[in-house]
Structure 1
């Protein structure tokens, strides 16, 4: 269903088509999918492909940030705000809930495609400007991880998280996922984050 607002319609179309066809999908196809007759509609509203991608991410992150800040506050009250499993859960759960709620069935797949974009650098670059909740969570994750190079593990967790969430989203869309995926995804990511490298043997 196309939004009546041209800008939101372009964001909806971009999220869906980039998720399904890749980052290089023609901008004219995005404009057409959004019901825009003008092929330059993306440039008019967003300036460039990068500007469009940033806007898709920012639209979703605004809501996700609010949820994650609420979760942080709740876990501070419960004194679990630095627990490794709870921190990973705060990254994963809001994304799973988007797919479940019917708000979107493409955002996780979109992120899997565009994950190298600077707009989502907060997941792996703790000094990047941007989203406060993600920075707090990832900073605490670095402090909690019992490994020599925690930032490298955060990068691996981000890569795996986007892939696992995208796979979950595909199953939701196909109506083949009937389980609570959050706990399983969180457990896998914590296992990846904390895996110990076996000592070298002679």
Structure 2
């Protein structure tokens, strides 16, 4: 194992095994997948399952924040910085690109499984400096929707986003069926956010 960072190996194993087997996968299995002989390696490096999941979510945040800030700047320059489609695209595309560029093949499926974990749902996390771009995008979306159910719609959109990206990632990895495009996913999510209520009499 010389030259391999055990902490990153554990995070890679966490993404993989939680994506494939669920959030309660035994920590000893994660340690084994990471090449750690010590079954308590997760507790040694992270202290708990919750901290491990938190670290796995956070690890890719910085990279995606950089991409989102670049896209925010581009949209500000061309006057579309408050456009609903552009805002949703900025949330979706950095995650989709991880699978499409081969940098990760399980992160979207991992996010789908842990979507109710505090690392995802805790509103206070949006105030952290490493999530500034996400906070700006979410605030602008809520302003554009401007209704009593705006926050709830954004929460629904987030859950749907994880599910759609996970399915796309799965299809890309398995070469099964048409994975669709990122634009397809963004369009569906915009429709969810902006759909008008229909009254059936």
Residue in 2 that maps onto 1:117:
117
Give me the whole-angstrom Cα distance separating, in 1, the residues matched to 2:125 and 2:28: 36
The answer on whether the counterparts of 1:147 and 1:196 sit within 8 Å (CA) in structure 2 is no
Matches within 5 A, 1:47-196: 47-121=47-121, 125=123, 128-130=126-128, 131-145=131-145, 147-176=147-176, 181-196=181-196
TM-score normalised by L of structure 2: 0.92
Give me the whole-angstrom Cα distance separating, in 2, the residues matched to 1:97 and 1:128: 22
Assess, with a 3 A threshold, how the Cα gap between structure 1 residues 199 and 126 changes in structure 2: closer, same or farther: farther
TM-score normalised by L of structure 1: 0.92
Give me the whole-angstrom Cα distance separating, in 2, the residues matched to 1:67 and 1:152: 26
For residue 96 of structure 1, report the CA deviation from its aligned partner: 1.0
Give me the whole-angstrom Cα distance separating, in 2, the residues matched to 1:35 and 1:28: 11
Mean Cα deviation higher: 21-30 or 68-77? 68-77
For residue 177 of structure 1, report the CA deviation from its aligned partner: 5.7
The answer on whether the counterparts of 2:157 and 2:193 sit within 8 Å (CA) in structure 1 is yes
User: What does the per-residue CA deviation read over 1:75-123, in whole Å, with 9 as the maximum and x for residues that have no partner?
Assistant: 111111000000000011111110011111100000000011111126x
Assess, with a 3 A threshold, how the Cα gap between structure 1 residues 146 and 194 changes in structure 2: closer, same or farther: farther
The answer on whether the counterparts of 1:85 and 1:186 sit within 8 Å (CA) in structure 2 is yes
Residue in 1 that maps onto 2:20:
20
Mean Cα deviation higher: 88-97 or 191-200? 191-200
Assess, with a 3 A threshold, how the Cα gap between structure 1 residues 42 and 181 changes in structure 2: closer, same or farther: same
The answer on whether the counterparts of 1:161 and 1:189 sit within 8 Å (CA) in structure 2 is yes
RMSD: 1.9
For residue 148 of structure 1, report the CA deviation from its aligned partner: 3.4
For residue 145 of structure 1, report the CA deviation from its aligned partner: 1.4
Gaps of 5+ in 1: none
